[in-house]
């Protein structure tokens, strides 16, 4: 999308110099009004100077770091003012303040279906900032969607553009999170190569950032960072999935125990044979293997029975 933003290049004065000139105009207007006593011709330039003073007072701009003013001349975009400090510009320009500072957004977790169709609760936190003031104010309907925060004495309203941008980011981030989460399974213990929401956070976060920037570029908003900060099965299947995870853990533990027990039994038989401690036939070897496996793989402590007879 074409970048239509440009820096304001019109008349600009130092704010303190302009303030001094304003005071000069005001003093001159008072002087003519004083002179008007008995001579009405002095009241005309006094009134004009006072009107000029009132109009020019609308031209002052004060900006802090990472703030900007979007200037519009009777509906025509005249540029964006970025200079930090106190300045004076054309008083007939309307000025819309926008913040270029980074902001956080931490929406509530939402329920989505993962790639396998399982309902999961997923949440994220993102850091975003405004980069293109023209797109932010004129490419999306941010001004009419901004909530009213105050009402002026003349019946006008003052709207919060910052809140409008945050609402836009919130809606788009919700859609982006649903899109990304639906492309991956919550977990897949059967395949170590498949990307999952639980095991591949970095890859998922990178794709989430790309998706968000694609969606928010129309509004001149750039996402600096986005990370999944909450991930869990939905309550209706959480208990079942917990039992499945426990079963997987038990099976994995049993496999490790059996592997260790078999290697220990083999080591015991080999040492008995190599050191000539006892000569066992196949039947007695089978009985010994069975007993050792029961002892090594059992959950309860073994209760040995001492056989004082033949082996």
Which of 233, 256, 271 delimits the end of a domain?
233
Residues 151 and 267 in one domain: no
Which of 32, 62, 97 delimits the end of a domain?
97
Residue 307 placed within a domain: no
Residues 36 and 143 in one domain: no
Residues 55 and 116 in one domain: no
The pLDDT, as a whole number, for residue 82 is: 94
Residues 199 and 159 in one domain: yes
pLDDT tens, 173-199?
999 999 998 898 888 766 667 788 888
Q: What is the 3-state secondary structure (H, E, C) of 185-243?
A: ECCCCCCCCCCECCCCHHHHHHHHHHHHHHHHHHHCEEEEEEEEEEEEECHHHHHHHHH
Residue 62 placed within a domain: yes
Residue 305 placed within a domain: no
Residues 207 and 121 in one domain: yes
Residue 7 placed within a domain: no
Which of 191, 213, 233 delimits the end of a domain?
233
pLDDT tens, 120-165?
899 999 999 999 999 999 988 876 666 655 544 444 444 578 888 8
Residue 310 placed within a domain: no
Low-confidence ranges of the chain (pLDDT < 50): 151-158
pTM of the full predicted structure? 0.71
Tokens standing for 32? 């003519």
Residues 244 and 228 in one domain: no
Question: Structural domain of residue 280, as residue ranges?
Answer: 239-297
């Amino acid at each position: 999308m074409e970048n239509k933003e440009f820096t304001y290049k019109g008349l600009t004065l130092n704010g303190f110099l302009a303030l001094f000139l304003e005071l000069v105009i005001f003093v001159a207007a008072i002087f003519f009004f004083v002179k008007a006593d008995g001579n009405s011709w002095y009241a005309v330039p006094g009134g004009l100077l006072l009107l000029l003073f009132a109009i020019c007072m609308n031209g002052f701009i004060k900006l802090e770091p990472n703030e900007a003013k979007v200037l519009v001349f009777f509906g025509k975009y005249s540029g964006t003012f970025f200079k930090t400090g106190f300045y004076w510009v054309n008083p007939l320009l309307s000025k819309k303040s926008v913040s270029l500072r980074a902001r956080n957004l931490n929406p509530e977790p939402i329920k989505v279906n993962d790639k396998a169709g399982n309902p999961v609760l997923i949440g994220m936190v993102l850091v975003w900032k405004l980069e293109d003031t023209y797109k932010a104010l004129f490419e999306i309907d941010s001004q009419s969607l901004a909530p009213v925060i105050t009402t002026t004495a003349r019946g006008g309203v003052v709207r919060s553009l910052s809140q409008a941008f945050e609402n836009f980011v919130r809606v788009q981030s919700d859609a982006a999170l649903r899109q990304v989460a639906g492309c991956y399974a919550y977990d897949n213990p059967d395949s170590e190569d498949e990307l999952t929401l639980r095991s591949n956070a970095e890859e998922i976060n990178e794709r989430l950032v790309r998706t968000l920037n694609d969606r928010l570029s129309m509004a001149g908003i750039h996402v600096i960072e986005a990370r999944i900060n909450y991930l869990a099965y939905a309550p209706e299947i959480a208990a079942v999935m917990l039992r499945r995870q426990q079963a997987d853990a038990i099976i994995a533990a049993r496999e490790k125990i059996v592997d260790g027990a078999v290697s220990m039994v083999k080591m015991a038989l080999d040492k008995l044979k190599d050191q000539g401690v006892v000569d066992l036939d196949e039947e007695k070897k089978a009985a010994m293997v069975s007993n050792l496996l029961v002892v090594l793989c059992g959950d309860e402590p073994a209760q040995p029975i001492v056989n004082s007879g033949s082996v």
